[in-house]
Structure 1
Amino acid sequence: MKHLLVIVLLFVFQINVAQEDSTRGYKVKVGEQAPDLNFTLLDGTQHTNQSLKGKVVVLQFTASWCVVCRKEMPHLEKEVWQKFKNEDFILIGIDLKEDLKKVERFIAQMKVTYPFTIDEDGAMFESFTLPKAGVTRNIVLDKNGKIIFLSRLYDEKEFAEMIAIIDTELKK
């Protein structure tokens, strides 16, 4: 009986891992409209799905404790934000569940200049991801708020693909 229970548990675990692999931890898909957004940047600017219309948007989910996030952020600053910030574009860093002082130190340490908000309870993150999904995610929205790219972790090839998609979308 114990062996049967172990086999069933392993099978369920493998199904969950396989589902996570195929979705990369997302519950949204490319081609779908972004979930409802309503947040305030650290500078006090309020944003919703409606206020973001007309811009290509990158939502970068991050946290100060995330090593991969720290690796990716200088690339986001230089290769994405500095390249596209004067176009119909916005890159928004979304810190996951950290307090303001910690986030301000994190931004200063990373020397990034793109706008930031704090997802205090993780609700915004969870509107895009499956339960217990890992951070280090970029979500690109077109000018109508539709998801056109989803990334997970930092991979140079995938990062280059994201930049190409942003560039193409801005030229439309």
Structure 2
Amino acid sequence: MKKIIVFALLIIAQIGIAQEDSTRGYRVHVGEEAPQLDFNLLDGTSITNENLKGKVVVLQFTASWCSVCIKEMPHLEAEVWQKFKNKDFILIGIDLKEDREKVDRFIAKMQVTYPFTIDEDGSLFESFTLPKAGVTRNIVLDKTGKIIFLSRLYDEKEFEEMVHIIDSELKKA
């Protein structure tokens, strides 16, 4: 009987893992409206879904302890922010559950210049992701606020695809 219970639990765990793999840890999908956004950047600028309309937006979820985030951030700075910042575009770094002092040190260490906010309780992150999802995510919104791209971790091909999608979206009238 114990073997049957253990076997059943293993199957249930595998199903759970398979479901997360297919969603990549997201609760949102491409084509959906972004969840409600209402936060302030570190410089005090208010961000809402409404005031992002008309811009292509990248929401980059990150943290100072995340090695993959650290690997990706120089690419975001050089190949996304510097390339598109003078267009109808904004890239927002969203640090997950760290204090302001740590985030300020992290931004300085990474030498990124794009705007940042802190998701102090993780509620913004969890509006996009499944419970216990991993960080290192980029969410691209079109000018109407719809999700047009979701990434997970840092993969060069996926990153290039994201840059292409941003560029194409900015070229639309």
TM-score (norm 2): 0.99
1:152 alignment counterpart: 152
State yes or no: 1:6 paired with 2:40: no
In the TM superposition, 1:128-147 aligns within 5 A as: 128-147=128-147
SS of aligned partner of 1:151? strand
> Which residue matches 2:100?
100
Asked if residue 81 in structure 1 is aligned to residue 59 in structure 2, the reply is no
SS in 1 for 2:77: helix
The residue that corresponds to 1:21 in the other structure is: 21
Residue 32 (structure 2) aligns with: 32
Which SS does the other structure have where 2:139 is aligned?
strand
Q: Secondary structure at the match of 1:154?
A: coil
CA drift of 1:55 comes to 0.2
What is the alpha-carbon distance in structure 1 between the residues aligned to residue 105 and residue 77 of structure 2?
16
Q: Which ranges in structure 2 are unaligned for 5 or more consecutive residues?
A: none
CA-atom RMSD in angstroms: 0.3
Q: CA deviation at 1:146?
A: 0.1
Separation in structure 1 between the aligned mates of residue 8 and residue 96 of structure 2, nearest angstrom: 34
1:38-70 deviation per Cα after TM superposition (whole angstroms, max 9, x unaligned): 010000000100010000000000000000000
- Show the counterpart of 1:57: 57
Give a deviation string over 1:9-38, Cα, whole Å, max 9, x none.
101100011001100000100000000000
Q: Structure 1 vs Structure 2: percent identity of aligned residues? A: 79
Give the match for residue 125 of structure 1.
Answer: 125
Structure 2 letter corresponding to 1:124: L
List structure 1 runs of 4+ shifted beyond 4 angstroms.
none
TM-score calculated relative to the size of structure 1: 1.00
Counting matched residue pairs gives 172
Which one-letter code corresponds to 1:118 in the other structure? I
Report the counterpart of residue 114 of structure 1 in structure 2: 114
